[in-house]
């Protein structure tokens, strides 16, 4: 596996294998550049959670691993559905869910749901959400 160096304005943001960068982005810049990650501002820190590890549900309330969101768009993506979301702070999030999960709990645009993640899937980002 080849070494990847990701730079931002002449500064090294992160280096490692492509898998390292994808599975454990170190900064919000890396998470956004690589794509398929949500950068979530928790106030005291920011985390990155992969979109395919972001779960959606209707039960419970917001806490350290759940955030209330509004469904913006629902798009069929071949192997599942890409759900674009926005939280009350205006932050954009996404969830990539299987076709089976979507059929078990269809979502509609404008609906309020909870986006959640397992603590093990949340990676704290250096430098916050910027």
Average pLDDT (1-12) is: 90
Q: What is the CATH number that goes with domain 3-124?
A: 2.40.50.100
Buried b (16+ CB within 10 A) or exposed e, 85-110: bebeeeeebbbbbeeeebeeeebeee
- pLDDT per residue as tens digits for the range 57-107: 999 898 889 999 999 999 999 989 999 999 988 899 999 999 999 999 999
Please state the domain extents for the chain.
3-124
- pLDDT per residue as tens digits for the range 19-60: 999 999 999 999 999 999 999 999 899 999 999 999 999 998
> Residue 92: its pLDDT value, please?
95
> Residue 21: its pLDDT value, please?
93
Report the half-sphere exposure of 9 (CA within 13 A, side-chain side): 1
Statement: the pTM of the whole predicted model exceeds 0.85: yes
């Amino acid at each position: 596996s080849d070494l990847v160096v990701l730079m931002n304005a002449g500064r090294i943001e992160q280096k490692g294998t492509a898998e390292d960068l994808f599975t454990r982005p170190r900064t919000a810049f890396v998470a956004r550049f690589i794509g398929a990650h949500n950068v979530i501002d928790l106030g005291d820190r920011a985390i990155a959670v992969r979109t395919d590890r972001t779960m959606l549900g209707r039960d419970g309330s917001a806490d350290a691993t759940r955030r209330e969101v509004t469904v913006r768009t629902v798009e069929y993506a071949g192997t599942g559905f890409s759900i674009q979301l926005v939280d009350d702070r205006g932050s954009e999030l996404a969830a990539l869910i299987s076709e089976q999960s979507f059929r078990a709990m269809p979502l509609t645009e404008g609906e309020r749901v909870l986006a959640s993640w397992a603590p093990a899937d949340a990676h704290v980002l250096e430098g916050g959400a910027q």
